[in-house]
Chain A
């Protein structure tokens, strides 16, 4: 053994011949992440140096250009074969460039593009002092309810720091599903979480609620990060390495090489089990699975609605990507240990999400619980531990994120004097007053409910099929039952919109600019297209479903 072997972290490059100690970075393969993070840094500079008047356009253009070119880079990488034959591990073993990573990065980027459109929307709130304002706080630093805040609102201040914040979060989300060692995983988690905590606190209206949501999210998120970190430490003690491949080798028992410094702990199953469980907990928190879901409804309700949509879609995609890689690359050797636990989590998540959603009276909370139920459905696909399982989860995530962003974009449109009218009773008779908006929302609800001919059905069928083939028939039955419960509350909203008489003081539907219109139109188009012709995307997900190790 060479002396460098003591530090396992530095010696696990993909290619065993490549033992050059200087860091070797494959810039081309990491281009999507680098572009987005680079644009985020430039965005911060824009905040500092570009005159206030020009900032909005600069930031929107910068964000859009960065996301679009990052997506182009993802497509180019996939086209060059990195999703299949040329899949490799880059950046000294830290980042995997393979099918699932590229597919999920592409999904995150596309979802982010449409989400950023809703961030940039400035026509929904009434203009103040001739300034069109967006959904974000006029002056984040001012205390809610204070005079300085009132002055800022009256003056129609707008801020543009949400764009670099979002870009940083997206950068983290791009690394999260591709992280190939536990430290990178942790860093990516923090990079994506910290900007999100801030974004949650930036609502223009109901700022106290928004800040409460952010604090809750931050505290619970910090807890889960701590668990994750502790789990990482234990796993390092178990395997003598934080690299996925090295840990997997120890789990499989293919490596008998004992690290002298860790002779007392290496290969100790107690460390593996506890460490694995703690890391899983950290990821299940981000996914919003029961019993780590408590933050979801409060944060979804309090955060500015465009942020909620972004978070619900993109974070979920990234977190499920990380979960998949952890379970399929690091821990496949102990699937007989984690599968029963994940069974329990999936069943609890599906049932709890669906049952609690029935009693909700706020649209955003309703969608929050529905997102919990959906996390349960996706977990059913994760548990399948097969290639079909991976591809079904990939497909489901793609389908689900566009439905979610579209649905939250519709929520931003329905307004009364106090801003967005999210209480369900106010939605009564919306179908009479604004048939098109209500019909579009109904399409999203039907997709959530998994009615055939929508993307929701194709996704649900894919994960349930994978689960059934993996021998989880009972899980499918529970999934079907909770789908039936969930259908009840989706339909209740449709009843409310179409079959109730509109109230005289009910909300109106604001006329959005092309930005939100585009978001909603893309959402509907993807929902219908994936429902009618899912084959192409299933193929894509299928061809992208092999992890590199």
Chain B
């Protein structure tokens, strides 16, 4: 057992959260810088994890394992595969941007009491979420994963409910009510999902006798794990339900537009780009890894749900009047693609899905953060309140366009690679599904370009005319994201190299091989 690098990547933000929360009320700025430095240190550690990770090596690397609750058979067991590494780096990468973008989002109002310390709370909660997300990407023990999967709801809940978007229509009271509605909806959906998963976690323990991914997989390979077909299916459904709420998959998606609409833009990014990824990640690691037969059994239904998510999310995005809700519905459509890629059960589909998780994180972060900057300038989330922004704030409009183009998977930008892989992977096994999914791309072009056209082009609206362009802080947030989007679009190899071996392992869990290409035999 070497140096506990994985533990450290989670402990650093967790300790940072405690320290940030402890900063005195008057030293708000110090709290912000502390949080930013901690998130950068976490990023450095995450990069170190990626460097130390050997793509061709063992399935789980940098492992740590200690007994935690022996009575429950629970170990504090960590380990990463390529998928985990990619998502840890994504998380650690996005959080500094989230912090920098939300720099002023939690400044207390002049009227607030001196003891009320929202700023410290805001940044501490962000770091707490980061720590919990990272540890759930690292856990190789089902129970350990479950603990943090559930616990991350609490800081997330306070982030949504406690720090709403100041840009709203209507009175303060109305906004507070909507915000607390969104926070409660978020929590209840996810808590119910989590509790149903709890029943399945207990069931898994009764069947398997322990929670270790590795041991359960070994027992299965050795034929020692006696899991009745029906039991496996029920347990699979318990797990999948929780992940489908988190991801979110139609028809369990309705919390996401509320949460993303009411939260501040950086928190919305945290929800959709970071926290929700735990859901899709867990489908790959736990649903497929623990219940391979049941996964195959459920595939047809899940593919249909994914298709509905893709098309339905995109259609609703077209119809949105609120910029942030539009991005939320676009995300639902994209999560449909990710789930599609996972359950297509081909190597292209699954590596596409993993890349999609990373790229969706980057593209949504770029689009949502710029949208947040835009909204904070005008004080409105309604698309109709904007027009001609590109004439007054060309840089803002330009970055917004790149974020939008990434969302619609323009070739040359990173999301194109992943979307293409998902579609190719799906088509290889389920041609009809692949064809229907392509409609999602067409609709994506529609909602992004219409959004850009209505807000950025056309005559300059009076309220928009004095709008300042991106400030240095904002530019520093957006520029690296755009560089990454272009970089990974042109040269995705570093990512695919890490991800592909992990995908092979997952596929071997479900005993699936890529369908052989059909070639007309030459006569």
- Please report A residues at the B interface, Cβ cutoff 8 Å: 391, 432-433, 435, 446, 451-453, 457-458, 461-462, 464-465, 468-469, 473, 476-477, 480-481, 483-484, 487-488, 491-492, 495, 498-501, 534-535, 538-539, 542
Contacts and interface: CB of A to CB of B under 8 A. Distances in A.
B179 A499 contact: yes
A542 B71 CA distance: 8
B184 interface: yes
Interface in B105-158: 113, 115-117, 146-148, 150-151, 153-154, 157-158
B5 interface: no
B199 A495 contact: no
B162 A480 contact: no
Interface residues of B, number: 39
A476 B158 CA distance: 29
B492 interface: no
Contact of A499 (B70, B72, B115, B176): B176
Given A480-B199, A484-B195, A498 B162 contact: yes
A477 B147 CA distance: 19
B117 A452 contact: no
B436 to A, nearest CB: 34
Interface string B167-196: 000000100100110011001100110011
A433 B180 CA distance: 18
B354 to A, nearest CB: 27
Given A464-B198, A468-B203, A491-B187, 10 more contacts: A435-B117, A453-B147, A457-B150, A461-B72, A473-B203, A480-B195, A480-B196, A487-B187, A501-B176, A539-B71
A484 B191 contact: yes
Contacts of B183: 495, 499
A535 B72 CA distance: 9
Contacts of B162: 498-499
A18 to B, nearest CB: 37
Contacts of B146: 452
A476 B202 contact: yes
B72 A452 contact: no
Contact of B69 (A433, A488, A534): A534
Contacts of A453: 147, 151
Contacts of A477: 199
22 contacts: A451-B151, A452-B148, A457-B150, A458-B69, A462-B72, A469-B206, A473-B203, A476-B199, A480-B195, A481-B195, A483-B195, A483-B198, A484-B192, A487-B187, A487-B191, A488-B188, A491-B188, A492-B184, A495-B161, A498-B162, A534-B71, A538-B69
A-B pairs, 8 with minimum CB distance: A452-B147, A499-B180, A538-B71, A480-B199, A452-B151, A452-B150, A480-B195, A484-B192
A433 B113 contact: yes
Contacts of A499: 161-162, 176, 179-180, 183
A499 B178 CA distance: 11
A158 B85 CA distance: 65
B516 to A, nearest CB: 42
Contacts of A539: 70-71
B249 to A, nearest CB: 19
Residue from the set A462, A480, A499 with the largest chain B CB neighbour count within 10 Å = A499
B71 A535 contact: yes
A227 to B, nearest CB: 35
Contacts of B115: 435
Contacts of B148: 452
A473 B72 CA distance: 17
A535 B68 contact: yes
Contact of A501 (B150, B157, B173): B173
Given A501-B176, A535-B68, A468 B202 contact: yes
Contacts of B198: 461, 464, 480, 483
A538 B73 CA distance: 12
B60 interface: no
Contacts of B161: 495, 498-499
